């Protein structure tokens, strides 16, 4: 398994659940639950992550 380096948004509230994202591996973006860092991860292609992120920022989907 790649050595993902996760980061959490600076907008995250440390008292509530949120996701962490790792973008340091060239062919994958990894997403995990910050409250369960040893749990499962979701791996996406970088292009799929970019599409998802752009849809959130553009208001086409809501989190």
In this prediction the pTM is 0.79
What would the two tokens of residue 34 be? 């910050």
DSSP H/E element including 54: helix 46-57
DSSP 23: -
C-beta separation of 29 from 44 below 8 A: yes
Write down the pLDDT at residue 5: 95
Give residue for tokens 């993902």.
4
Tens-digit pLDDT profile for the chain (63 aa)?
679 999 987 777 777 778 899 999 999 999 999 888 899 999 999 999 999 989 988 888 876
DSSP 7: E
Could you give the CA distance from residue 27 to residue 16 in angstroms, rounded to a whole number? 30
Give residue for tokens 């849809």.
55
């Amino acid at each position: 398994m790649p050595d993902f380096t996760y980061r959490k948004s600076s907008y995250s509230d440390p008292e509530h659940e949120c996701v962490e994202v790792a973008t340091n591996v060239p062919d994958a973006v990894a997403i995990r639950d910050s409250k369960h860092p040893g749990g499962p991860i979701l791996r996406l292609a970088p292009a799929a992550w970019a599409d998802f992120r752009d849809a959130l920022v553009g208001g086409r989907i809501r989190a």
